């Protein structure tokens, strides 16, 4: 699954063919993005591509309550009513430059931080929907997950789908075939990623800041060094 992520270098995020001038240079770095919070996303409607803000936790348009789902499993995304139509018609890209996953050791959940070896930003494959009720509207999204690569598998059996730049057009275009899309929802190569244990302070959604990324010894929970 994917339950927290970072966008600590938003100024490094680059997209092509955007119609709006969303100023990423003024976006505040975030080190602990959590469900129910707003996230940046790229969407395409009627061949118009733009950066927007979506609430993390997809609420299907037909839902009777504002209950969100933060992840959608690639294995069942075409079957579950919660995700099926969004997968077919409303796909998005969610910028990030790292994410957290937890290893369960007895009664303790130890967080680890995963990122590219060069620290570069990337995008998650996502889907979105728009929910309306009693005059209020919530536009929300979910991150698609797949089986873990070799690096993630030592910690957890799932990971978010990370999409390479050459696949962005295929993912966003409204006329892309679901069969073609399913083929690209695969684990990102472990050889291009790195990870390390971090402070359990990340468990608190109110905690934010660069200190959350400092490596720790998972056995004793103390910082090893500063970035």
Token pair, residue 119, equals: 């620290």
The active-site residue, picked from 2, 44, 92, 141, is 2
State yes or no: is 101 an active-site residue. yes
**How many alpha carbons fall within 13 Å on the CB side of residue 88?**
9
H/E stretch holding 179: helix 178-184
The active-site residue, picked from 44, 92, 101, 141, is 101
Token pair, residue 103, equals: 């290893």
As to burial, measured by CB atoms within 10 angstroms (0-12 exposed, 13-18 middle, 19+ buried), residue 47 is: exposed
As to burial, measured by CB atoms within 10 angstroms (0-12 exposed, 13-18 middle, 19+ buried), residue 104 is: exposed
The residues that are catalytic are: 2, 101
């Amino acid at each position: 699954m994917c339950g927290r992520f970072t966008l600590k270098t938003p100024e490094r995020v680059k997209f092509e063919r955007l119609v709006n001038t969303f100023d990423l240079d003024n976006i505040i770095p975030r080190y602990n993005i959590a469900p129910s919070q707003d996230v940046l996303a790229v969407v395409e409607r009627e061949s118009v591509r733009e950066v927007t803000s979506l609430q993390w936790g997809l609420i299907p348009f037909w839902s009777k309550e504002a209950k969100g789902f933060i992840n959608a499993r690639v294995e069942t995304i075409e079957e579950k009513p919660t995700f099926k139509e969004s997968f077919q018609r409303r796909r998005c890209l969610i910028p990030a430059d790292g994410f957290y996953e937890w290893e369960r050791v007895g009664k303790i959940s130890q967080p680890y931080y995963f990122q590219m070896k060069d620290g570069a930003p990337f995008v998650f494959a996502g889907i979105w929907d728009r929910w309306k009720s009693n005059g209020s509207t919530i536009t929300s999204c979910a991150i698609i997950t797949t089986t873990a690569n070799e690096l993630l598998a030592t910690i957890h059996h799932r990971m978010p789908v990370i999409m390479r730049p050459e696949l962005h057009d295929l993912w966003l275009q409204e006329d892309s075939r679901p069969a073609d899309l399913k083929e690209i929802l695969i684990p990102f190569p472990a050889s291009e990623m790195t990870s390390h244990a971090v402070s359990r302070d990340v468990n608190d959604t109110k905690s934010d800041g660069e200190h959350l990324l400092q490596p720790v010894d998972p056995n004793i929970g103390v910082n090893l060094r500063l970035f």
